[in-house]
Amino acid sequence: MVPKVLVLRAAGSNCDFETKFAFDKAGAQTDLVHVNRLLSDDTKLDQYQILAIPGGFTYGDDISAGKILANQLKYKLAEKLNKFYRDGKLIIGICNGFQVLVKAGLLPVVDFMAEQSITLSNNDSGKFEDRWIYLNVNDGPCVFTRDIKKILYFPVAHAEGKFVPNDETVLNSLKENNQIVFQYISPHNGKTEYPDNPNGSIENIAGICDPSGRVLGLMPHPERHLDPTNNPLWTRKGLSGEGDGLKLFKNAVNYFLS
């Protein structure tokens, strides 16, 4: 059976169609669903195997990035999301979606009652960063990165992407559980600093998963590098095949086909 993906929309989402295209290209059946349809129960979350929260500026990021949508998930949809997770399904949040996951209680562990232990704060540069960056992919339980390239090239586009844990205890827990999935790196094998780390993230962290590897959040945009022609260097490097991001979506789909 072809896995079904729910791409969650809200006012201000602007990467929803790209995320749908990515999952469709990976072989899934994908629906764009507004959060109000989940709140009203017009759409049943349990009909789907993958939940994707795409990038954008939900509700204008008027309080803080992703906070309003996060509160809707945390206080109105927690029971449904807990069941979705317990049923062994997958969740991914990209950029604003990552911000939503950490503020709702879906990362670094799925616990809607826990106090928030990590955040994504204002970029150290004090401005919106829109650039291509290199990522190192760490070994670990993450379903989305199985057998993926060790070094990836993705664009970022955010103003609040600096990964900050509450304290060393939280950071050490992420390391011990192999939850740090992506880290910004320098393409020249030197010290990773701005602009290679575009936001000043602690330990260059660009994405994490939960301990099971079934919930992933990342700031860079894999859905914007599905084809070699998406890469600004594709003509100079003579690139062919598929873009670095497609494998991530294929892994999610194949998880339910294998």
Catalytic status, residue 95: yes
Write the pLDDT tens digit of every residue in 185-209: 999 888 999 999 999 999 999 999 9
Residue 258, pLDDT above cutoff 90:
no
Write the pLDDT tens digit of every residue in 49-67: 999 999 999 999 999 999 9
Domain that holds residue 198: 4-255
Buried-state track 209-235, b at ≥16 Cβ within 10 A, e below 16: bbbbbbbbbbbbbbbbbbebebbeeee
Domains held by the chain: number: 1
Question: One of 15, 129, 209, 221 is an active-site residue; which one?
Answer: 221
Tell me what pLDDT residue 210 has. 98
Question: One of 95, 129, 158, 209 is an active-site residue; which one?
Answer: 95
239: amino acid identity, one letter: L
Tell me what pLDDT residue 141 has. 98
User: DSSP assignment of 151-180, as one string?
Assistant: EEEEEEEESS-EEEESSHHHHHHHHHTT-E
Tell me, what CATH number does 152's domain have?
A: 3.40.50.880
Tell me what pLDDT residue 238 has. 86
Average pLDDT over residues 233-256: 94
Average pLDDT over residues 88-94: 98
Residue 228, pLDDT above cutoff 90:
yes
Give residue for tokens 């006012």.
11
Write the pLDDT tens digit of every residue in 14-42: 999 999 999 999 999 999 999 999 999 99
Question: One of 15, 142, 223, 225 is an active-site residue; which one?
Answer: 223
With cut-offs at 50, 70 and 90, classify the pLDDT of residue 179. Answer: very high
Average pLDDT over residues 217-239: 95
What predicted TM-score, i.e. pTM, was given to this entire model?
Answer: 0.97
Catalytic status, residue 223: yes
